[in-house]
């Protein structure tokens, strides 16, 4: 009851939390379902807590289990980081680097950069975490992050890429069909594409763009990528990166003088990784590529 707990138990615990079932966790870890069941039972006994309420449709975590989850996740991140570090050990650019970025950056901007990087360094493996949630570099959820806010944490190497400019855009087809707005007053008559839930961005946009509010949107969507797709499909007028609009299919910027938003863009990396050739090479390549992207 008071002796140290094997780390395997924590591993199984996290898997059950993620899969919400013993069977799923067993599949995930590549072991049999009774094994996981025994691990959870042993962990519960050692901790003196009930971690899950059993049911036929799976296991529901108790409040206690939820409190412990973040620690198990931290262990998982560290284990993954250890493996990446091991794979990348030695001279030369090889191994795995884990990059995180927002959905738009990750899907629209990074792929060609990463492809070119891989072509130059064939032994490099890239893990791309596309998420609007800010990953924690200190907990090693990623090695390198593209961020839209200046990092305030210590222990991080941060380099400012520049400003990403956002503007209102529409597809030529749409403008042909519905006309081009000449002033902000025209906007309410157009099909607007915006977010469903209130975001920091939305609050910022409202200041310069009073018409930009939820009830005015003809399309409400929280995925920036889907919004971009809607704009490209000629669904209406929406906000996207000016640099992206220049690509094919070519989008037309509207009301450029009335609306412009600039986001600070930073590339960050954990200090320890400066010595790893593969991380450094990736960092430099992304920096150059992103800088070119922001113009």
Partner DNA sequence: GCTTATCCATACAAATCTGTATAGCTGCCA
Partner DNA sequence: TGGCAGCTATACAGATTTGTATGGATAAGC
In the complex, the residues that contact DNA under the rule CB under 7 A are: 8, 21-24, 30-35, 37-39, 54-59
- Specify whether the CB–CB gap between 209 and 184 falls below 8 A: yes
Distances in whole angstroms, Cα of residue 15 to Cα of each of 48, 77, 131, 251: 20, 13, 21, 44
Which listed residue (39, 140, 171, 278) binds a second copy by CB under 8 A?
A: 140
148 near a second copy, judged by CB under 8 A:
no
209-248 footprint of a second copy as x/- string (CB under 8 A): ----------------------------------------
| Residue 157 CB coordination number (10 Å) | 18
Q: C-beta of 26: minimal distance to DNA in Å?
A: 7
Q: Where are the beta strands (DSSP E) in the chain?
A: 52-55, 58-61, 95-101, 124-130, 144-147, 156-170, 192-194, 217-220, 237-241, 252-254, 261-270
**Residues 36-55 contacting a second copy, CB under 8 A:** 47-49
As measured in angstroms, the least distance from the Cβ of 38 to DNA is 5
The one segment of 98-106, 136-144, 157-165, 210-218 that binds a second copy by CB under 8 A: 136-144
Q: Which does 17 bind (CB under 5 to 8 A by kind): DNA, a second copy, none?
A: none
Whole-number minimum distance, CB 61 to a second copy, in Å? 13
Residues 6+ apart with CB under 8 A from 252: 169, 170, 171, 172, 175, 180, 245
Q: Find which of DNA, a second copy, none residue 171 binds, CB within 5 to 8 Å per kind.
A: none
**Distance from C-alpha of 256 to C-alpha of 240, rounded to nearest angstrom:** 12
Calpha distance 268→144 (Å, rounded): 6
Per-residue x/- marks for a second copy, 6-25, CB under 8 A? xxx-xx--------------
Which residue shows structure tokens 């806010």? Answer: 149
Interface residues with a second copy (CB under 8 A) are: 3-8, 10-11, 29-30, 47-49, 64, 67-68, 70-72, 74-75, 78-79, 81-83, 85-87, 89, 138-140, 152-154, 272
């Amino acid at each position: 009851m008071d002796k140290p707990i094997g780390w395997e138990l924590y591993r199984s615990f996290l898997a059950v939390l993620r899969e919400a079932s013993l069977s799923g966790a067993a599949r995930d870890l590549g072991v049999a379902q009774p094994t996981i069941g025994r691990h959870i039972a042993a962990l519960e006994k050692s901790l003196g807590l009930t971690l899950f309420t059993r049911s036929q449709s799976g296991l529901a975590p108790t409040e206690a289990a939820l409190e412990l989850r973040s620690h198990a996740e931290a262990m998982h991140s560290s284990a993954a980081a250890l493996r990446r570090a091991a794979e990348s050990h030695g001279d030369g650019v090889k191994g795995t680097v884990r990059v995180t970025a927002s959905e738009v950056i990750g899907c629209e901007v990074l792929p060609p950069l990463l492809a070119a990087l891989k072509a130059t360094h064939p032994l490099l493996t890239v893990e791309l975490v596309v998420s609007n949630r800010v990953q924690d570099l200190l907990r090693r959820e990623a090695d390198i992050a593209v961020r839209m806010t200046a990092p305030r944490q210590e222990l991080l190497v941060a380099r400012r890429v520049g400003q990403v400019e956002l503007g209102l855009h529409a597809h030529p087809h749409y403008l042909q069909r519905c006309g081009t707005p000449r002033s902000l007053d025209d906007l309410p008559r157009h099909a607007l594409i915006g977010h469903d839930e209130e975001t920091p961005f939305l609050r910022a946009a409202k200041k310069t763009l009073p018409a930009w509010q939820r009830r005015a949107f003809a399309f409400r969507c929280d995925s920036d990528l889907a919004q971009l797709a809607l704009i490209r499909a000629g669904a209406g007028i929406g906000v996207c990166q000016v640099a992206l609009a220049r690509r094919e299919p070519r989008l037309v910027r509207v009301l450029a003088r009335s609306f412009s938003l600039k986001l600070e863009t930073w590339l960050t990396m954990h200090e320890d990784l400066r010595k790893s050739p593969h991380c450094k090479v990736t960092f430099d390549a992304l920096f150059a590529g992103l800088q070119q992207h922001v113009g």
